Structure 1
């Protein structure tokens, strides 16, 4: 029986190949690859028992226990689930942690049932090492342009108009502020890293001269950009987006009030507005000390009044928050920053500057 091993990891990333992960659910939840689906050969309890056996009695005894736990009936169920997945993803590859026994057994059982699948040589560990090393290399050699600007300037909107970007906040599922949490939870740290590695490798393969990202701290919510890559990002030039305050209020209102309220209502129904209000209120509580007691009370009262009345009323506290809290903070950050400022302008001017930079050698 010929069981195929593959280690062309680059093609997996560039082609977004589907991956069948047969590790235990607890391993998958800790971190997996963006295109992977978990259909484990051993559940968490079985894996735990086999692990204890391996430590006490060695590999042979552990394999024997594994076969006992996954009896013929369980094996048939596993094979059925894998074949169902492969009927929808016929070009998928297979992996376990090190590409050894679990994926090898899976591969042989599928082969016996008439289905061939290739497995990753070295498994999850080898593929992740490839992603880390390749991404560090690419981030070292890629020129980065960072889009900065005051809160609400429309940096993400501008980012989405360009094709040589990586949306760090999108990958982190967080908008990078005290109010930036989405309803859906953030990915695990490893999931975030793997998704970022994929994007960096795919970006490089598209032949862009520059990588464009938003101005971020290393932490985005509870996940963080890997240190080496963050340092490489910050060997960059800064392009500052200037947007009038009234326009920034409208952008913030649209995103945090209109869009978020619609999402909360879609997911939670009639309770959605209350849950949204509680989330916003908690955001202000987190920055109470930095706001100062007087400003905190003013904004909280305006939030409560607007929630009970017209949504348009939210623009009043948004304007205060942007001009009196976020703007001074960003000015301080810019003064402290060592990043060279390459250009400043409005959205269209910044867009044209970045597009033109792809055609020239001056950056």
Structure 2
């Protein structure tokens, strides 16, 4: 039996065939981005990788290989002792490192010698990343995107969730980015992924969609928090896609915002820190007034004023400027943001999925 080398295109087409996808890179490399469902078996940890690299530069490649070989051998032994019990003979792993070289090759050689049907990703993560970039430029054109629009607090994310629960195809960019999208959209305790991993998450969703069925997506800005939406996808959403406008009464919008951002109710200090982002746009006096209202328990009033003086005007201008079919959007008017009501609206939307784009 010999180690098999597979191209990125072949590996991704056959991804479901592999029992385990093993990332042999360091933990820091793995944390930045990785193949879908990959597990990390670093043959060199971050400190060891830096140490070997320093020896390579300052002494010689030969000395670096000697030191690296000892470290790699110990680390592979530790992985085998931890991971091998219970692995059947027919277990089939896919192994990769940065460029499909020594790190993945060393681990794959040992696994192959044990008798496992081991494959190595030719070109490593670098080849995978190139495939992701290529697909992100290609896949959006194949999809029938339906852009869910609506002012802040209209329940767009909840409607997407209801659509998904009803069987629709949904691309939840805010969920993938771990951010609510607005200047106050940070999610406590949920750091955003790296830009590369955000793109990988989007790529993974796009390649799983059926082009014959609509894909529902929220009307995002070019950036979701600190992350940029891939340019081709954004242009497809803005220029070519049908819009669905959700209109919810102000009372329901305020209630929904206070439910979805309840962590601000529990931590007013966090809310005040986030409000600082609006000083440049709204002025110190206005922001300080909102802070005082929040400290006084008047969070509903703050939400209402934020909606009317900041979010609504900005949102309307952005939609009219950027989304070509916004003025012809199909309007849906839920009576509330409650789950049962949004389930009803989702069912109505799915019943009319084949409605043609307005001329």
Structure 1 length normalisation: TM-score? Answer: 0.83
Is the contact made by 1:164 and 1:210 (CA closer than 8 Å) also made in structure 2? yes
Q: In structure 1, the residue corresponding to 2:208 is in which secondary structure?
A: helix
Query: Is 2:99–2:123's contact at 8 Å kept on the other side of the alignment?
Result: yes
Q: 2:184, 2:134 → 1: CA distance? A: 34
For structure 1, list consecutive stretches of 5 or more residues without a partner in the other structure.
263-272, 307-312
Deviation at 1:231, TM superposition (A): 2.1
Structure 2: where are the runs of 5+ without partners? 335-341
Contact persistence 1:20–1:38 (CA under 8 A): yes
Q: CA deviation at 1:175?
A: 0.2
> For the Cα contact (< 8 Å) 1:208–1:358, is it kept in 2?
no
Query: Corresponding residue for 1:230?
Result: 234
The residue matched to 1:146 in structure 2 has which SS?
A: strand
CA deviations over 1:2-23 (Å, ceiling 9, x no partner): 1123343334566897421110
Equivalent residue, structure 2, for 1:268: none
Q: Out of 307, 319, 341, which is 1:322 matched to?
A: 307
Q: Which residue of the other structure, out of 326, 350, 358, is the alignment partner of 1:355?
A: 350
- Comparing both structures, which one devotes a greater share of its residues to helix? 1
Distance 1:17 1:247 in 2: 47
The equivalences for 1:168-207 within 5 A come to 168-183=173-188, 184-203=190-209, 206-207=210-211
Report deviation, 1:53: 4.6
CA contact (8 A) 2:132 2:203 kept: yes
2:319 pairs, out of 323, 334, 358, with 334
**CA 1:359/1:334 → structure 2, altered by over 3 Å: closer, same or farther?**
closer
TM-score scaled by structure 2?
0.83
Mapping 1:48-59, distance limit 5 Å: 48-54=50-56
Task: Find out whether 1:35 has 2:37 as its counterpart.
Answer: yes
The answer to whether the Cα contact below 8 Å between 1:218 and 1:224 also exists between their aligned partners in 2 is: yes
Tell me, in whole angstroms, the C-alpha distance in 2 between the residues paired with 1:93 and 1:346. Answer: 49
Could you give the per-residue CA deviations for residues 308-338 of structure 1, whole angstroms, max 9, x where no partner exists?
xxxxx42222122212221122222233234
Which residue of structure 1 lines up, in the alignment, with residue 222 of structure 2?
A: 218
